[in-house]
């Protein structure tokens, strides 16, 4: 980002709008997240961060936040709670939100501590690793239904284990295709062998015919055999 954007801070008007919204209908619940980490290539959401100040008493995850977090992780977008006190020089605690039931008060949340009391340098290294891991996720195009029934395009981020399973499925598919080709080759070979056997049998029959035909030509006919017998009889009487 350019230097101008780096110097921008949260606007007071945004806080005023959120405070004003609370003056509306008491059932109009809302929630916000402090930071959405995005990536340009591939474009998408790396993760969501909510910051908590350990020096304040507001440490609990609210039911509205739990509902919001659950939606994020249902789409494969990880959610993290970072506990740190300004001016953000040291002592970061990074917690991953793994899901929760928003109905109890306070919500029953499944949390896992990833880093505890680490420096700002360690925090930047963690975010670097998080972004590297994002590049290895599978991004599956999908659609989601809006409350009024419209389908809008979305993406579903899947973890590394699913990526491994996808690679395994591709390998199995490739092996199946290879086996199918082997079956085709075997069938072709069998057909070729059958054809050659038929050709050999035909050649053998022609050879037998060629050998036996001259012999058949040399044998005396029935008439010749009869004349020979008469002649032999006469010669016998004359003697």
- Residue from 3, 16, 95, 101 nearest 50 by CA: 95
pLDDT of 230 higher than 70? no
**Does residue 90 sit in the same domain as residue 62?**
yes
Distance CA 122, CA 104 (A): 34
Mean pLDDT calculated for residue range 182-192: 87
**Does residue 175 sit in the same domain as residue 198?**
yes
Q: What pLDDT score was predicted for residue 21?
A: 83
**Does residue 151 sit in the same domain as residue 194?**
no
Q: ∠ CA(3), CA(5), CA(75), 5° rounding?
A: 130
**Domain encompassing residue 234:** 165-238
Q: Number of structural domains, the chain?
A: 2
Last residue of a domain, one of 158, 175, 195: 158
Residue in this structure with the two tokens 């590394």, named with its chain if needed: 160
Q: What b-and-e string marks burial along 69-107, b requiring 16 or more CB atoms within 10 Å of the CB?
A: bbebbeebbbbbbbbbeeeeeeebbbbebeebebeeeeb
pLDDT of 24 higher than 60? yes
Q: 143-156 pLDDT, tens per residue?
A: 656 566 766 555 55
**Does residue 188 sit in the same domain as residue 153?**
no
**Does residue 81 sit in the same domain as residue 10?**
yes
**Does residue 112 sit in the same domain as residue 202?**
no
**Does residue 110 sit in the same domain as residue 9?**
yes
Distance between alpha carbon 106 and the CA centroid of its chain, in Å? 37
Mean pLDDT calculated for residue range 203-226: 68
Task: Pull the structure tokens for residue 45.
Answer: 């959401």
Q: 84-115 pLDDT, tens per residue?
A: 887 777 789 999 998 888 988 888 888 999 99
Q: 63-81 pLDDT, tens per residue?
A: 999 999 998 988 888 999 9
Last residue of a domain, one of 118, 134, 158: 158
pLDDT of 160 higher than 60? no
Q: Per-residue confidence at 5, pLDDT binned at 50, 70, 90?
A: very low
The mean pLDDT of the chain is 78
């Amino acid at each position: 980002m350019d230097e101008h954007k780096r110097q921008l801070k949260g606007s007071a008007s945004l806080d005023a709008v959120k405070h004003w919204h609370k003056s509306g209908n008491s059932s109009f619940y809302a929630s916000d997240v402090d930071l959405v980490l995005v990536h340009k290539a591939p474009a998408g959401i790396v993760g969501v961060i909510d910051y908590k100040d350990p020096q304040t008493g507001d440490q609990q995850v609210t039911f509205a936040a739990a509902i919001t977090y659950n939606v994020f992780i249902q789409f494969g977008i990880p959610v993290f709670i970072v506990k740190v006190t300004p001016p953000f020089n040291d002592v970061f605690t990074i917690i991953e939100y793994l899901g929760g039931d928003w109905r109890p008060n306070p919500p029953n949340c499944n949390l896992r501590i990833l880093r505890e009391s680490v420096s700002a340098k360690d925090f930047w290294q963690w975010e670097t690793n998080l972004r590297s891991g994002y590049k290895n996720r599978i991004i599956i195009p999908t659609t989601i239904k809006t409350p009024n029934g419209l389908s809008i395009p979305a993406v579903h981020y899947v973890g590394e284990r699913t990526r491994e399973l996808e690679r395994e499925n591709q390998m199995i598919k490739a092996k199946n295709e290879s086996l199918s080709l082997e079956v085709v080759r075997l069938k072709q070979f069998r057909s070729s062998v059958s054809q050659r056997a038929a050709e050999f049998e035909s050649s053998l029959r022609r050879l037998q015919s060629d050998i036996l035909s001259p012999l058949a030509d040399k044998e005396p006919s029935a008439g010749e055999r009869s004349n020979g017998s008469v002649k032999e009889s006469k010669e016998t009487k004359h003697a």
